[in-house]
Amino acid sequence: MTLPYAKSDSYKIFDSIAGRYDLINTVLSLGLHRIWRREMRRKLPVHSEQIVLDLATGTADVAIELVKDVRIDKVVGVDMSEGMIGIGRVKLRKMGLNNRIQLQVGDAQKLSYTANQFDAATMSFGIRNVPDVNACLSEIYRVLKPGGRGLILEFALPSSKVMRALHLFYLRKILPLVGRVLSGHGTAYTYLNQTIEEFPYGENFVALMRKAGFQNATHRSLTFGIVNLYWGDKA
């Protein structure tokens, strides 16, 4: 399949749909994205006063979920889309969270932070949009403190033939149509569908994490295998 956009330009899609993104995300995931975020939060390191980096932070929903945890002192959210970051900053002001969450425009492949800075790093449904996945994983590993943990949520395809067929029908037929109606963008959710189908998942993605240096890298399937939660630790 040929993507309608280069991955390096994918942030422009999110700029164009930023104002409706939260609504679209809730509708298309049937609200399950909240459960997936909570599952990721449960896998954070056990110690307190953590500083967490949230990549592909979007409108800051994951960052907001993370600071609910008593172990988290501060979250730094990074995203390429200025439009999404702008929406996120408005949400944080309304919620009084500016002192605990800092949002910045930045590239997950070339982070501006020094090595060994964060206790954990999270990335939700964004790594498949990164042109160089290996560079992104290496950067996550670099900025983690020794003993820090990388946590990644990403879509996958179910192993069950029945569930896979149903999910592919949803991705190819229903999701693009509903996404187009809700977003007013002609191709944004066709792009989403194609990146999900082409991206490595399961043990193939775990192998990429190990290549980047993560120890104890593994994954867990969520919601019949349509989403995977990956995690690994820095030695």
60 pLDDT higher than 60:
yes
Q: Is residue 92 part of a domain?
A: yes
The model's pLDDT over 117-169, given as tens digits with 9 standing for 90+, comes to 999 999 999 999 999 999 999 999 999 999 999 999 999 999 999 999 999 99
| Average pLDDT over the chain, rounded to an integer | 92
Contact criterion met (CB below 8 Å) for 29 and 217: no
Q: Tens digits of per-residue pLDDT, 100-120? A: 999 999 999 999 999 999 999
- What is the domain range of residue 69? 7-155+200-233
Cβ atoms of 231 and 149 within 8 Å: the answer is yes
Cα–Cα distance between 33 and 21 in angstroms, integer?
13
* Partner residues linked to 232 by β-bridges: 150
- Find the helix packing angle between 21-28 and 82-95, rounded to 10°: 90
Instruction: Let me know if residue 161 belongs to a domain.
Output: no
Residue at 170 is within a domain: no
87 and 115 Cβ atoms separated by less than 8 Å:
no
**The pLDDT value given to residue 3:** 52
CA angle 57, 235, 104 (to 5 degrees): 20
Overall number of domains in the chain: 1
Cα 97 to Cα 63: distance, rounded to the nearest angstrom: 10
164 within some domain = no
Instruction: Tell me, yes or no, whether 47 lies in a domain.
Output: yes
pLDDT of amino acid 10: 66
pLDDT over 90, % of the chain: 77
**Domain presence at residue 207:** yes
Distance CA 100, CA 105 (A): 17
Q: Is the pTM of this model over 0.75?
A: yes
Is residue 213 over pLDDT 80?
yes
pLDDT above 80 for 190: no
